[in-house]
Structure 1
Amino acid sequence: MAQETILLVDDEKEIVDMLDIYLKNDGYATLRAYNGAEALELLRAHNIDLIVLDVMMPAMDGIAACLEMRKTSNVPIVMLSAKSEDMDKILGLSTGADDYVTKPFNPLELLARVKSQLRRYKRLGVVQPAESGVIEVDDVVINTATHEVRREGRDIKLTPREFAIFELLARNRGIVFSIENIYEKVWNEPFFESDNTVMVHIRKIREKLEDNPRQPKYIKTVWGVGYKVDG
């Protein structure tokens, strides 16, 4: 099996060196970039399986780079930042990142996050007989085999996390899922009460899918309970 390639993007060479050692010791191939512009060039030139992306960088920061990446790629992105405020995390996730790690971090924790993201990304891209096929929600078509979403013939580019959330709700139409349930089923991790991650992802799905995200047609809010796709 071919090595999975991780793109490391950070202007702090010491962090890139450290992550390079841990990832290579675990069997991954790595590429390096020291700003967002370099990262975009490498993403266009190589087959990359996951990106570790710092926020604060010269030339092009991680937020701008993530926005550009999401125009053409659904590769998983783990964002790094020295900022730990909730709004900083929300901003990072809103641009299309799949996970967010605050500096300073334990490299073993980051390695675990990388593995988790890669497992999910590969699972979503593999045809699974029990779950494969097409799901239709009004004029939206979800192809679980190709990881594509189309509305009225138009491609809707969802990140792996966004796709997983929408697929979960669409596959269980009429069932209300709490934020905690969605998080634990999609992230496969315990939910923390103060975490806004699910709400951020739901908002991004609506922005991409809905004519009017403030009056959603597809993913409905059941106030005080959670979210559902109508049966």
Structure 2
Amino acid sequence: MLNRYPLWKNLMVVFTLIIGLLYALPNVYGEDPAIQISGARGASADMSTLDAVTEDLKQNNISYKSVAFENGTVLVRFNDTDTQISARDILNEELGDKFVVALNLAPSTPKWLQSIGASPMKLGLDLRGGVHFLMEVDMDAAMEKLLSQQEETFRTELREAKIRYGAISKTKDAVEVRLRDAEQLNEAEKALEKLHPDMIFVEKRNNVLSATFTDAVCKRSATTLWIRTSPFYVIV
């Protein structure tokens, strides 16, 4: 099949393909695991920060690919992510609160490509595989809040039942009701057991009634918290 197009059009197509391939090359080189160090709380990173970072890494036998001061931040490149994370932990401890030590991915584009303005395509979170969030739930704090609510509930219920009590207080894992005498203790125990079948009531010394949650309630509370937070565990 004969090429009927003029020579200049063919050359234009070839030239366009070469330029396209040239500016696509940075995507082939990928990215280096890196740490970016910037100032915080009024501090600023400078060349002395770079020297301190280099010295800290050498003292802890952390190998790095390169270190540079760019745009007011210190950028340290590493060969693998394990070294990157180890270096982050060390620098966080050594530099203190005056600097922010953040994990980063730095393009490994050669300088000759950078000189002509070629840079890799910036991928969004969806193309990078998403982001993983881990949310921790403080079960002790959750149970403490539940006991505090139960403390107020007991006060209301005993007043409505016209049962006189001395004091109601919350301990680490129970709500204790101090009654005036044994008769009031028995009445309070019967009334509260009827209203709260999911709690365990135990008589203690000095007319004190101790109330704790059953294992089923604790498990149900943990499951409820997990259901409420589970949509935030993984976002892709």
TM-score range, shorter-chain basis?
Answer: under 0.3
Higher share of residues assigned helix = 2
| TM-score, normalised via structure 2 length | 0.22
Computing the radius of gyration from Cα coordinates, the structure with the larger value is: 2
Return the structure number with greater relative CO, CA threshold 8 A, min gap 6. 2
| TM-score, normalised via structure 1 length | 0.22
